[in-house]
A and B are shown apart, each in its own frame.
Chain A
């Protein structure tokens, strides 16, 4: 199965995409994304942290630009995925581009957004709500029928390449009222809802990603599900698949299950000693002490 292929190099992948990233589809998200791409509909990925949104975009990019759904045109694009991690100080300039001083001259440099608009790549704005409002407004014209990006500083307007797609992500869990997406922004995207996989799928993911034994992977997934029940204790998202994968990796590397879960799960999700104790006890339910 395609999905179970192992992806070896996590880093550097955005650019090279030489290998197919491992992604286990959880529902119909792959089909939806494919048709959204075909219809040039911007995509909003909703879901808690570490549930596989980034991985999904990487996987889809590979599928569309290198894999079964790629065409000649797209295969020629060097950087088919431009990922921007949004933060409070991210301004429109950071996305669109800026003049840089180069000796006595000023040289224009494209930002990731204009680059992908030009190239026909996928631009992925991770955690869009973190970005400043001016940058969100910027994408309005790109995400309706016009598909244009005004570059004010150059006084031009870029018309998006046919292969271009804007994908944004958003974690509804910990947004404050202040940082909600404006409806006018929101309603320009189709939304795919992500959540943590069920125990079975999560176990499969952990097994592949961390290469830990199946038994342990299953128990890690079950532990994950238990910890996620503790929502009302100040960590809204529960434990992410990412953390469970980390735990698996540590165990694979020879750490005891208890210690691995302590480091990757209980310590990571909370600073509250009592919650940590409770999670460690949950761990001890699944893993005997050595």
Chain B
């Protein structure tokens, strides 16, 4: 290109746009000293190209001219030319993109972010290559890209680069979002954005996540947890993304927890495990946690999987150690001793159970307690607390809460409360005062409990959280019931009166009638001051006291009371003062058993509370089926993981259910078909019919002499030895006390037809069923107790245990139909089924407990251990379950029709306690033989 002629170019430009032409001349003059002639020529022709490219493209020329001198000044001549050419290139696509680029460059120059320009250009370039038609995208891209500082820009562009692969829309959304939230922390946000793409979810609806402010804002805790969970999921599936962990760590709230988690920083697997449970760890016990994490780390050095399970709180050891270190108490660990304690304290037939809500309450002869108590730092304190909670529940029976009488009403509480204008307030006050009375009675009766109560009460008050609206006086009452101290001169007149009336309940021997009297007084005092309706009754409940269940059917029970006590109550009732509010003088107390039964009225007033009540523990009612027959009960079982050499706690959920499918003809058909076999089986079983008498030898006393022993005794004596005196024989009655459970494998594979010419086209499941039916027929004659159950399932969260006939069921048409209805289902997770069967057997209390398992292959499930293809996990757990069963006195036997059974049965079952059926048609007769050998010794 030769020397440019500015005049000529000016003229050309002028034809298109005056402004551009003027500007050109001006800038030309400025630049002519700086650029070489060649460069000037290039620059001029670029400007000219701009103008001539399109109808409105002179605007680009203007933009270019605008920055030219500035650009030359800051970046030099070459850059000036380059910028122009780059913009020209964009102009091929669209005028807007070129313009937004040029404006961007201008900004960068102004803000002195010179080095960002190259990065943006190269990112934009590759975008353009990927999507040559995306002019709007590029326009937006250039518009926003130049806003960033270097660091943020790098992250941002990196994300664009990665997103480019997943589609134009992804990049477009991202760019849009970037425009919307300009103040975002890009380092965080860009990663997050990538993450959401990885997960196939969008966080665009969650701006607080996107902007990275999440962990700083109060109230976002829940989302924070959710988010963390998500991050963890991703981290597990994409172990290669190292920044994920950083991100997760960032989302942890407390600095202290952060430090704890960092203890395992050197091992990302441990780190992730720890982060996963971080929300269940007490944030204020860092020292204790440190010890625990250290233990987990040490363990991981010996056995990595075990270390992870430990820190994830999945292994038995991990949970136990944490409990121990934190001093927490798990109800299940102490349930038996607490139950025994309960028996000692009360004659009432009470049960203990776990409360899902963590609250203490009683219902239908069952005291519900939290599963885990960690209010204190030591096991001892927590255990005492648990004990106190039980004792308080008991106190209402021991100290006669349910002997309350009102006007001979069958629903005395309800009637009494409804005699007040505000029954809610009356009921609230009553519960409060009655709980207080019970505590004070306990203190009078039991010195040791007094000590405990005096310690716990003030602490309990401390931990209460009051609703704003709760009136000060009500708060005061609660305070008094927890032994709150008070200075006489600081109290108002009303407070003094309340204090005085409540003090009646502190007197030794105060009865429920006293509570009613005090309630009436307090009610009057409170409402005189405040009016009836305005009082908010939402007072917090004192945790160890739980909820006093006044509708309890338990109130029917009368026990543990001396007649003196009853007589005293009678007196109290007679002494009830003049009517104050309601007809309290008519309160009548007596000994007559309370016939409350199902209390309509009672349940009316407490309807809202009852609705909150949970279903019984571990009971899941199936939808649309109300009858108890159809209920599913769920049980949690530990599972043995050989890889970590420990149990995984509460790992499997087993649902016990009644067989749903029925086949009424199956049993009778089978019996017709297999008549001859049936007779064989019966004959076999007949052999074990007990001989009514059995001779027992070697007794010191008996009806007959045992000749052999007598002779040797004589010989002993003659030869100067001390003779044995056990020379008698006695006939003794032999009773059979046998319970047998047949456990049928209902896995999908039992649907296979047996390829054996004798099989008659039977499926494995049919053979199992038929064998069991013949056994049942025989056992009915023999009189042994037996149960028939099947198992299948899918994964550790759903093991289905189907009861066709329980020990208590009779072998009637329903039972037969259920057995007939057994069908192949899904997988074979044997361990939990064996554990559950063993539990059923233990409950029979029979002397001989036999478990007979019929299966068709090795235990198998999709989540049996980390390696799906390995059979070892299932086999080892099953073996463990069998060992546990034998620890409980259950003898087991595994029968399999799997020809390759020898391989694993040898490992799974104790020697001689398994059999591989070669000839499947022999199953029924073999089964009866096995039964015989198992149940007779």
Q: Which residues from B are CB-within-8-Å of A275?
A: 337, 340
Known: A230-B340, A277-B337, A278-B344. Is A289-B725 also a contact (CB below 8 A)?
no
Q: Counting CB contacts under 8 A, is A219 at the interface?
A: yes
The reply to whether A274 and B448 form a contact with Cβ atoms under 8 Å apart is no
Q: Which residues from B are CB-within-8-Å of A284?
A: 384, 448, 452
Residue of A133, A279, A281, A283 with most partner-chain B CB within 10 A:
A281
Known: A132-B700, A289-B448. Is A282-B341 also a contact (CB below 8 A)?
yes
Q: Which residues from B are CB-within-8-Å of A232?
A: 343
Known: A287-B447, A287-B448, A288-B451. Is A282-B344 also a contact (CB below 8 A)?
yes
Q: Which residues from A are CB-within-8-Å of B340?
A: 230, 233, 274-275, 278-279
Q: Counting CB contacts under 8 A, is A186 at the interface?
A: no
List residues 70-115 of chain A with CB under 8 A from any CB of chain B.
88
Q: Which residues from B are CB-within-8-Å of A251?
A: none
List residues 181-231 of chain A with CB under 8 A from any CB of chain B.
219, 226-227, 229-230
Q: Which residues from B are CB-within-8-Å of A282?
A: 341, 344-345
Interface residues of A (CB under 8 A from B): 88, 132-134, 219, 226-227, 229-230, 232-233, 274-275, 277-279, 281-289
Q: Which residues from A are CB-within-8-Å of B341?
A: 277-278, 281-282
Shortest CB distance A230–B (Å):
6
Q: Counting CB contacts under 8 A, is B450 at the interface?
A: yes
Known: A219-B447, A274-B340, A281-B338; 17 extra A-B contacts, CB below 8 A, are: A132-B725, A133-B700, A226-B344, A274-B336, A275-B337, A277-B341, A281-B337, A281-B341, A281-B387, A283-B448, A284-B384, A285-B448, A286-B446, A286-B448, A287-B447, A287-B448, A288-B447
Q: Give complex CA distance A48, B136 in Å.
A: 99
Q: Which residues from A are CB-within-8-Å of B344?
A: 226-227, 229-230, 278-279, 282
Q: Which residues from B are CB-within-8-Å of A134?
A: 701
User: Of all chain A residues, which has the CB nearest B450?
Assistant: A288
Q: Which residues from B are CB-within-8-Å of A132?
A: 700-701, 725
Q: Which residues from B are CB-within-8-Å of A133?
A: 700-701
**What sequence of 0s and 1s flags, for each residue 64-76 of chain B, a beta carbon within 8 Å of any chain A beta carbon?**
0000000000000
The reply to whether A286 and B700 form a contact with Cβ atoms under 8 Å apart is no
Shortest CB distance B670–A (Å):
42
The reply to whether B338 and A278 form a contact with Cβ atoms under 8 Å apart is yes
Q: Counting CB contacts under 8 A, is B96 at the interface?
A: no
**What sequence of 0s and 1s flags, for each residue 308-341 of chain B, a beta carbon within 8 Å of any chain A beta carbon?**
0000000000000000000000000010111111
The reply to whether A285 and B338 form a contact with Cβ atoms under 8 Å apart is no
Q: Which residues from B are CB-within-8-Å of A285?
A: 345, 391, 446, 448-449
Shortest CB distance B661–A (Å):
40
**What sequence of 0s and 1s flags, for each residue 434-452 of chain B, a beta carbon within 8 Å of any chain A beta carbon?**
0000000000001111111
Shortest CB distance B440–A (Å):
15
Q: Give complex CA distance A226, B700 in Å.
A: 40
Q: Which residues from A are CB-within-8-Å of B334?
A: 277
Residue of A232, A275, A287, A288 with most partner-chain B CB within 10 A:
A288
Shortest CB distance B737–A (Å):
14
Q: Chain B interface secondary structure, helix, strand, loop or mixed?
A: helix
Q: Give complex CA distance A258, B229 in Å.
A: 49
Q: Which residues from B are CB-within-8-Å of A226?
A: 344-345
Q: Counting CB contacts under 8 A, is B599 at the interface?
A: no
Q: Counting CB contacts under 8 A, is B809 at the interface?
A: no
User: Of all chain B residues, which has the CB nearest A277?
Assistant: B337
Q: Counting CB contacts under 8 A, is B149 at the interface?
A: no
Name the contact of B343 in the complex, choosing from A219, A229, A283 (C-beta under 8 A): A229
Q: Which residues from A are CB-within-8-Å of B725?
A: 132
Q: Counting CB contacts under 8 A, is B467 at the interface?
A: no
Q: Give complex CA distance A102, B336 in Å.
A: 61
User: Of all chain B residues, which has the CB nearest A281?
Assistant: B341
User: Of all chain B residues, which has the CB nearest A273?
Assistant: B337
The reply to whether B336 and A230 form a contact with Cβ atoms under 8 Å apart is no
The reply to whether B447 and A274 form a contact with Cβ atoms under 8 Å apart is no
Known: A226-B345, A279-B344, A289-B451. Is A274-B701 also a contact (CB below 8 A)?
no
Name the contact of B337 in the complex, choosing from A88, A274, A289 (C-beta under 8 A): A274
User: Of all chain B residues, which has the CB nearest A216?
Assistant: B447
Shortest CB distance A276–B (Å):
8
Q: Which residues from B are CB-within-8-Å of A283?
A: 448
Q: Counting CB contacts under 8 A, is B347 at the interface?
A: yes
Q: Which 6 A-B pairs have the closest CB atoms?
A: A278-B340, A133-B701, A288-B451, A277-B337, A274-B337, A226-B344
Q: Give complex CA distance A23, B647 in Å.
A: 57
Pull 25 A–B residue pairs with CB atoms less than 8 Å apart, ordered by A: A133-B700, A133-B701, A219-B447, A226-B344, A229-B343, A230-B340, A230-B343, A232-B343, A233-B340, A274-B336, A275-B340, A277-B334, A278-B338, A278-B339, A281-B338, A282-B341, A282-B345, A283-B448, A284-B452, A285-B345, A285-B448, A285-B449, A287-B447, A287-B448, A288-B450
Q: Give complex CA distance A227, B450 in Å.
A: 20
Shortest CB distance A20–B (Å):
33
Q: Give complex CA distance A150, B812 in Å.
A: 64
Shortest CB distance A112–B (Å):
21
Q: Give complex CA distance A277, B337 in Å.
A: 6
Q: Which residues from A are CB-within-8-Å of B384?
A: 284
Q: Give complex CA distance A283, B449 in Å.
A: 10
Shortest CB distance A80–B (Å):
32
List residues 387-434 of chain B with CB under 8 A from any CB of chain A.
387, 391
Q: Give complex CA distance A285, B447 in Å.
A: 7
Q: Which residues from B are CB-within-8-Å of A277?
A: 334, 337, 341
Residue of A275, A277, A278, A286 with most partner-chain B CB within 10 A:
A278
Q: Give complex CA distance A20, B483 in Å.
A: 52
Shortest CB distance A236–B (Å):
15
Q: Which residues from B are CB-within-8-Å of A274?
A: 336-337, 340
Shortest CB distance B397–A (Å):
14
Q: Give complex CA distance A238, B336 in Å.
A: 18
Q: Give complex CA distance A219, B447 in Å.
A: 9
Q: Which residues from B are CB-within-8-Å of A288?
A: 447-448, 450-451
User: Of all chain B residues, which has the CB nearest A91?
Assistant: B725
Q: Which residues from A are CB-within-8-Å of B449?
A: 285
Q: Give complex CA distance A218, B930 in Å.
A: 59
Residue of A88, A219, A284 with most partner-chain B CB within 10 A:
A284
Q: Which residues from A are CB-within-8-Å of B391?
A: 285
Q: Give complex CA distance A284, B338 in Å.
A: 13
Residue of A230, A232, A282 with most partner-chain B CB within 10 A:
A282
The reply to whether B448 and A229 form a contact with Cβ atoms under 8 Å apart is no
Shortest CB distance A29–B (Å):
24
Q: Give complex CA distance A74, B935 in Å.
A: 62
Q: Give complex CA distance A230, B449 in Å.
A: 20
Q: Give complex CA distance A278, B700 in Å.
A: 40
User: Of all chain B residues, which has the CB nearest A136?
Assistant: B701
Q: Give complex CA distance A288, B384 in Å.
A: 12
**What sequence of 0s and 1s flags, for each residue 328-370 of chain B, a beta carbon within 8 Å of any chain A beta carbon?**
0000001011111101110100000000000000000000000
User: Of all chain B residues, which has the CB nearest A227?
Assistant: B344
